[in-house]
Chain A
Amino acid sequence: MLRVVIADDSRVMRQIVIRTLRQAGYDWEITEAADGALALEIVAAEQPDLVLSDWNMPNMTGIELLRALRASGDDVPFGFVTSEGSPEMRGEAEAAGALFLVAKPFTAESFRDVIEPVLA
């Protein structure tokens, strides 16, 4: 079973992401993080298979989290799930090493479209 970290300061949004992942057929072991700093600690301790992160979070944003991971040599697969899906942010995410950016609101298909290539 894949071990996945979901980082979002909104508990409601974490629940929606988990529910939508299940609807997409992904019955994964999920660890939740309420901000980027907590996610950084969890990823270092647990070495998950995938990180799904919000962008705009207190303490440490999603892009800061990704850059901190890459700077420490951690190449864990990383995707953003964020309310802002502008071309500029997609470019910034890709340049920092993200595999994908799913814009909220999302559907089960949104997740399948970006996650299936990662699992292949």
Chain B
Amino acid sequence: MSAIGIFDSVQLTAIAEEVFAAMVDGEPGLLLPWWDGPATVTDPLHAWVDLHASYTGRVLLTTDAATADDLARALLGMDAAEVVSEADLVDAFGEVANVVGGNLKALLPEQGKLTMPLVSRQPPSHEGAFQLDEVLLAWRGRPLVISVWNL
């Protein structure tokens, strides 16, 4: 097993729930496991950080761009009608990935280096990589996928 493969779905979900409760929503219960069957992200935005140690891993978050807009509004205390700039969208979603990745990294026996977050409408290349785990979550009823990869 890869060193990053120690995470399980329960840990991934617990860390994401903690991050969203404290940082995004200010209260628990708005990020939950997705129970409504298959979910489709139709207009995806991806945010990820990589972990470099004796292995290389990746923590990738994917959600709809409109959901990421609302994430940015929540983080910045903006009204629902306010327009989110591209810079704030990238900053906010990237920071969520950074905090989730940082908290997962803290669980690893070997530390290493966390990269700066990247955000793109195109998924990162996973050529030669394999997925170790994935959780499908619902933030305010909308899908958010968190996956962990060995690169």
Contacts and interface: CB of A to CB of B under 8 A. Distances in A.
A84 B102 CA distance: 5
B91 interface: yes
A116 interface: no
Interface string B86-118: 011001101100110111011000010010100
B88 A84 contact: no
A89 B111 contact: yes
A83 B102 contact: yes
Given A103-B106, A107-B22, A83 B98 contact: yes
Q: Does more than half of chain A's interface fall in helix, strand or loop, or is it mixed?
A: loop
Of listed A15, A83, A106, A107, residue having the most chain B CB within 10 A: A83
Interface string A3-45: 0000001111101100100000000000000000000000000
A89 B111 CA distance: 9
Given A16-B23, A83-B114, A86-B111, A104 B105 contact: no
Nearest to A9: B116
A56 B111 contact: no
Interface string B62-78: 00000000001001110
29 contacts: A9-B116, A10-B91, A10-B95, A11-B88, A12-B72, A12-B76, A12-B88, A12-B91, A12-B95, A13-B95, A15-B75, A15-B76, A56-B114, A56-B116, A82-B102, A83-B98, A83-B99, A83-B101, A83-B114, A84-B114, A85-B103, A88-B111, A103-B103, A103-B106, A104-B99, A104-B103, A105-B22, A105-B103, A106-B23
Interface of B: 18-19, 21-23, 72, 75-77, 87-88, 91-92, 94-95, 98-99, 101-103, 105-106, 111, 114, 116
Given A11-B88, A83-B99, 20 more contacts: A10-B95, A11-B91, A12-B72, A12-B75, A12-B88, A15-B75, A15-B76, A16-B23, A56-B114, A82-B102, A83-B98, A84-B105, A84-B106, A85-B102, A85-B103, A86-B111, A88-B111, A103-B102, A104-B103, A106-B23
